[in-house]
Structures are given as structure tokens and as C-alpha cells.
Chain A
Amino acid sequence: MSAAIERTDVLVIGSGFGGAIAAYHLAAGGAKVTVLERGPWLESKDFEHDYKLGSSYTRIFDFVVGDGMSVLGGNCVGGGSVVYFAAMPRAPRFVFDRRGSIGRRMWPGSISRDTLDPWYDRVEESLSVSRQGWSDASYAGGLWAAACHRAGRTANPLAAAIDNAKCVNCNFMMAGCRFEAKQSLTANYLPAAVAHGAEIRPLHEVQYLTRTAEGGYRVHYTIVHDEDYRLQNGSGVIEAKIVVMAAGAGATPVILQRSEAHLGRMPHAVGRYFSGNGERLNTAVLNEDKVAELLGLSRGEGLPPYGANAIGKGPTVASWDRLDGSLPEYSRYSLEQLYFPPGLGTILAQAPDATGPTWFGREKKEILRNWKSWLTIFSMTEDDNEGVFGPPPATGNAHRISQQMLGRGNLTYRPTENTWRGWRQSDADVKEILEKDGLAKVMPWTNDLVGAYTVHPLASCRMGDDPHTSALDDRNELRGHPGIFVTDGSAVPCALTVNPAMTIAAIAERAIPGIVASARLRGVAVTYGAPAPNGRTGGRKGVLPLLRREQPARA
């Protein structure tokens, strides 16, 4: 027996929203925290404007093709927050009452928009989320707003975690923000966690967990080569009293599945009920003359009135007319303008009115020549939690194909008629708004190549009150495996009809007091109550009274 087994109080797997928030609070409260992150640790100067394979554009991504669903996520310290677009709306009230296919409320009874609002407040303070004005909207967002208005709809500039004073509208957000305008977790929770002694180890990929004799967990990892992620540079173990799983909804259930042989039965919902947040993309090719004529828009002398696909910062404007709680489930969605750079999504755009193939060939090439006049609209609908993970691959969450970014995973997704109805309705809506009077030609992305496509994986290890359909209790603890908590998107029970990071973060914030209490039970000297990473205390003032109210009930 080697005497040199490493030990930590709290081991956090993954450094995205769920991981960073847990790491910060527990470290600030006095616990020894170690974070294992599969991807590299890049600094602002490493974020390149470059589509070459191996630049930050592909290094910090993970694209996993499944059977019927492909998932794009972050792969770096900071996780999805480094590659995301920083749109940070709260989920609408009706979402928390959703029933989906299980015929009962999917969310735990203790969570509603009202009970989550104080936790949303904490996140807003920590990430400097602010309401954007019309002057912050990109050309693409402005165009979408004008088109919505002309069709008798409303449209909103999105709440965002962006410092507009620093933003240069380069639209390379997905390669990481070079200008430190985007409030990635590498600008707040993670440096604050490190300042409190947390240790973050990049290129450490967790494979499975086993139990220790003392009732803690031993976490088994491999070290990933820093350039060719297909290669491994050794392996190791580390023991912890508490494990916080936050590898993302595409990876957390896979680690648990692989651990089942050692830890015993996993709850039925581990690796089931996956949701792609009901995502659907449509590409509109605008008629520039009509943009001027119908919408009265102009960028000035000598410039096309739009022609600005490449300019801006991801989504800036969304239409929420269908976020109406009185409408039936599966018919509510938001329609958000989005930017998708070449390479990662262009292949899935289809040529409207094509007589031949739509995604390749002559007519596809023709629409590529109009790429500047593309407008991408992103629907977030209510899907049916159809995704199921098959047996785990040898390592990680996918069989890696390319040196970086591309892999093949075991997620199966067969959209039900409910999901299809939402997709079709939102497609028709986008068409109605943008094809009115010949403003544009619109086609959805094809599902034929890599299935449906999501950047918002959710619910693969979800919380709830019913042990048969939820893997976690309402405190984010894994049923039957005390001391393992899940705080990432996999805990969120269902599609949200809006961008999810805000809700994932709020749920993680809400889980922290319970994790602290569990750590204390295991002899870790840790307390709850850190301010926001920037030192502000407004959010904390909002939640501490809630916890005090809860104490007697739990005792």
C-alpha cells in the first residue's frame, strides 16, 4: 500500500457553472477544494481569432455526435462559460410547473420561480448580468427586432454578462473572449476560488469513482495530452469526503454509469431524460433590398443595409411572445437571434427552394456566397426529455475522433411527436416573420446529418421529488450515494424555453448550503456565507434569511 494517496475535502469534477460556483463557496468557507477539469487552462491572450484546427476555436470545444443528437459544449477551465454567448435570462414562471411525459410536476416542490429568484439575484450580482439596451444590440439583433415589429410581435434586448465598454463586437466569442468583455467564470468565481486556496488541475479527465473504507470517495482520473486529446499521459487517484459532479449534462451521467460497478446501483434517472433544451436553428438568407425597403434599415452610404452576419456578439435580441404560461405545454418557446461562425454549423444550413440536395452541392454553395446576409434564429422549445445514454465509452464521454473537439458518444435521442410539434410550430413562426413580403428565405438546419443539435444539454441526472424519475433529491444529492452532489446542467429537470446558464448557476448557488452542511457532517470545517466573488454582499443578504428560516424544519 502506498502511503502517498492524495486527499482533499471536496473534489469538484468540471469547472463550468456548476463546478466553479461550488469550488468558490466551499473554498471561501474554509474547505480544501480540488477541481479536476478535462480541458486546458487558457488565458485571455490565448484566445485566438482563428478557425484553424488546434487554435482556441477548436481546443476549448467538445463536439460529441450521438445517435439522433449532437452536443456542443466547453472543454476548458471555465467550461461552457468560456465559449458561451453570455445571454443570461431567467426562466419564465411556467417552466417550473412543467409536467412533461411523466404526468406530474418535474421540478421539486420546493423550487419555483419565486423561490429561485433570490438565487438568480446572487448570480446576477456575481456575474454582473445587466439588462441590455437597444444601443447594445448588434445589426443582426436589430434586424430581428425590426422584422418582429413589422410582423406585429415584440422583441427584447437580452440580459447579458457582457461589459459593453470592452466589447469590440468581433463575434469570436466562441473562441473565448480576448478582450475580457465577457464575464466568463475565469473572471469571477474561479479566480476567487483560487484566491481562497482551491486548486484547479486542467487536463485531468475523471473516469470513475470508487468508495473508500471511511465512506468517502476515491476519484480516478487520467491525464490528457495538451495538444492531442486522444492521447493520455498517465493516471492517478485522489480521495475526498465530498464529491461535486459538474462535468456537464453530456458527461456527468457517463462518469456515474462507469462508476456503477464500484458504487452500486445508480438511480434509474442517471443517464436518462436528457433534454437538448428543445433547440432548433433556422437560417434566413435576407434580401438586402427588402431590408431597406420593408424595414427602413441602413448602415450608411456604400454598405448593404444588413450584410452584417459576422459583426456583433452572439444573441442580442429575442422574441418572447410565445412564452405565455396560458398556452399548452410544448407550444411555448422563445425565438432568439444568434450568430454561428463558419465551420461549426454552416454544413447544417440548408438551401431554400433547392431542387437538388439542400446541405451540399451547387445550391448550398450559392447560399454560402450570401453568407454575410444570413440571419440565424434559435428556437428554444419544450422537448420531451427523450435522450438516453447507452453504455459508457472507454474513457471520457465519447470516443475521440479528431485530435480535438470531435467525438462519437452513446447518447440516443428520438424526438417524440410533442417535440416535433414545438419545432414545427417555431419553424413556421420564424418563416412567417422573416418571409413576409419576401424579406428573406428561411430553412431549418437539417437533422439528417448529426441528428438534432444542442449547445444547452440538460436533465440527464435530474433533480425531483419522485425517486423513479429523478436522480437527485431537491438538495442536488445523488439518491442512494450520500456525499455525491450534482450541480451542473444535468440537475436541471427540463427544457427551459430560454438560455439555461442563468438557471444552472442559480440551482448551483441554491445547492451550496446543503453541500456545506453535508461536508460539516463529515468533519470538514467549512462555513457558508461568502459574498459574491467581487466582494459584494447584496445577494448574500437576500438568501441568508431564507436559510435561517429553513434550519428548524431540517433539524
Chain B
Amino acid sequence: MQREEAAARTRDAADDASLTLEAYADTIVPGEKRWPGDRAVAGAAPGGGAVAAGALELLRWDATGISDGLDDLARRVNEHARAYAEEVGLELDPEVPPFVALEFEDRTELVARLTRPGHPEKEFWVLLSLFCTMAFDSAAHLHTADALRDGHPGLAAMGITRPDADGLWRFQNFGYGRELARLHPSTTPSGSPA
């Protein structure tokens, strides 16, 4: 009985952490809500954001080197959120973790503060932000060709084209093919500055 309770608590904690990390990722690259009552994703921008792009999958992959520390990061950002709410006089909804309870603008302000030069924890938050961005702009947890085939929201938004059948990109037309400027007068015959 006791063990089950502990397991349930761990599960809740893990869920809270995931919810918090989703909210963080959504602050970095915002997206539209996945369902009407979505709390983690604030719905601050059209189309899928970092969460829909798979930020949690990437963060939880041990190849990143930060997967072990994620629960700690979630705990810390929630502490910062609580302190921030107190400072600016916000009432936080106790039903969700403090960072999740913040409005998008407040989440943004808090992340800006945490990543500003001079913040003692800046490196952690920059690292977390880096992987959230990479989930969106390069789908770093997926083979690029598969991600494109499956409509990955980040790669699609950026307009990255599909590769050839062998998984490689080739562009037959690649340039305007004509002279577009005068050469620098002191250019050597082999094409270097004189």
C-alpha cells in the first residue's frame, strides 16, 4: 500500500515536471494549444511550437546530456516562478505547477531574466533553451527525412524540402549563373586578395 502511494507520488512529480518542461519549451518556441484545456501550451502563436515538434522527446533522450537533470530544472524553474509571482503580485493557480500557472507574457519575462548575462544559473537555462529550439528547427531527435515525411511542424514551417529517394538532397539549379558585381581591383589570378 505504502509503495503504491510512493509510486503515485513519483508519477505525479514526473507529470508535473513534464508539464513544466512543456511550458518552458512553449515559451521558447510557442505554438497553438493541443486541446482546449491545454495548460502547458499557452497558445501564443499559430501552428505547432517546440512541444508539438517533440521537445520533450529530445530533452528526455540521454544523448543530450541534460536528461538526468530535467526534474531538477523543472523544480528550479517552478521555484523561480513562485518567487516571480510573489514579486509582481500574482495569484498562482494551485492546480498546476507555478511556472505553468504563469501567463505566457510572464513566462517570457521569467525566461528572459534567467537567461540574461550575469544570472548565476544562466548556463542551465541556455542549455535547456538550446535543446527546445533544436527540437523545432532541426528535429534533432528524429531522422530528418522521416521527420519531413511525417510533417514535423518545425521543419515544415521553415520550408525545408524533402530529399531525393535515397535520402540525400541535391539541387540542380543552384545559382543565378551570371556576373552580379565588379571584382575587387586587387584580386590575384588565383582569386585571393592581393
Contact = CB atoms under 8 A, between A and B. Distances in A.
B183 interface: yes
B193 A312 contact: no
Interface stretch (B1-9, B12-20, B89-97, B167-175): B167-175
Contact of B181 (A132, A136, A153, A502): A153
B115 A400 contact: no
Interface of A: 48-55, 58, 65, 89-93, 120, 124, 129-132, 134-139, 141-143, 145-146, 148-149, 153-159, 168-172, 178, 230, 297, 299-300, 307-308, 310-313, 316-317, 319-321, 323, 334, 341-343, 346-347, 356-357, 360-362, 364-366, 368-369, 371-372, 400-404, 406, 408, 448-450, 498, 502
Nearest to A137: B175
Given A155-B180, A310-B160, A52 B65 contact: no
Contacts of B170: 168-170
A154 B157 contact: no
Contacts of A131: 189-191
B191 A156 contact: yes
Contacts of A50: 143-145, 167
Contacts of A136: 175
Nearest to A305: B176
Contact of B169 (A49, A141, A361, A372): A49
Interface size class of B (residues with CB under 8 A): 35 or more
A310 B161 contact: yes
Nearest to B44: A362
A257 B19 CA distance: 45
B171 A154 contact: no
Interface in B122-160: 123, 126-127, 129-130, 133-134, 136-145, 154, 157-160
Given A157-B191, A402-B63, A342 B30 contact: no
A361 B174 contact: no
Contacts of B116: 448
Contact of A343 (B117, B140, B175): B140
Nearest to A447: B117
B177 A135 contact: yes
B181 A154 contact: yes
A90 B191 CA distance: 9
A134 B143 contact: no
A360 B29 contact: yes
B174 A53 contact: no
A143 B152 CA distance: 29
B129 to A, nearest CB: 6
A55 B147 CA distance: 14
B175 A360 contact: no
B176 A360 contact: no
A357 B116 CA distance: 11
A91 B194 CA distance: 8
A323 B193 contact: yes
B183 A154 contact: yes
Given A134-B177, A154-B185, A365-B29, A171 B169 contact: yes
Contact of A49 (B123, B154, B167, B179): B167
B169 A369 contact: no
Please give me the 3 A-B residue pairs with the lowest Cβ-Cβ distance, nearest first.
Answer: A131-B191, A343-B138, A159-B191
B38 interface: no
Contacts of A134: 177-180
Contacts of B142: 52
Nearest to B185: A154
A169 B174 contact: yes
A142 B145 CA distance: 28
A60 B192 CA distance: 29
B78 to A, nearest CB: 19
Given A154-B182, A299-B173, A361-B30, 17 more contacts: A49-B144, A50-B167, A154-B184, A169-B171, A172-B169, A230-B65, A311-B174, A312-B174, A343-B140, A347-B130, A361-B27, A361-B28, A365-B30, A365-B157, A401-B65, A401-B127, A403-B65
Given A53-B63, A154-B182, A343-B134, A139 B108 contact: no
Given A361-B27, A362-B45, A320 B193 contact: yes
Given A369-B157, A403-B62, A159 B140 contact: no
A424 B154 CA distance: 32
A402 B191 contact: no
Contacts of A371: 137, 158-160
19 contacts: A49-B169, A54-B63, A142-B176, A143-B176, A153-B181, A156-B181, A156-B191, A168-B171, A169-B170, A170-B171, A172-B169, A299-B176, A300-B173, A365-B157, A368-B157, A402-B64, A448-B115, A449-B129, A450-B126
A159 B190 contact: yes
A117 B44 CA distance: 58
Contacts of A361: 27-28, 30, 108
Interface string B48-67: 01000000000001111110
Given A52-B140, A142-B180, A401-B127, A89 B175 contact: no
B61 to A, nearest CB: 7
Contacts of B117: 448
A159 B192 contact: yes
A148 B181 contact: yes
A479 B129 CA distance: 44
Contacts of B176: 137, 139, 142-143, 146, 297, 299
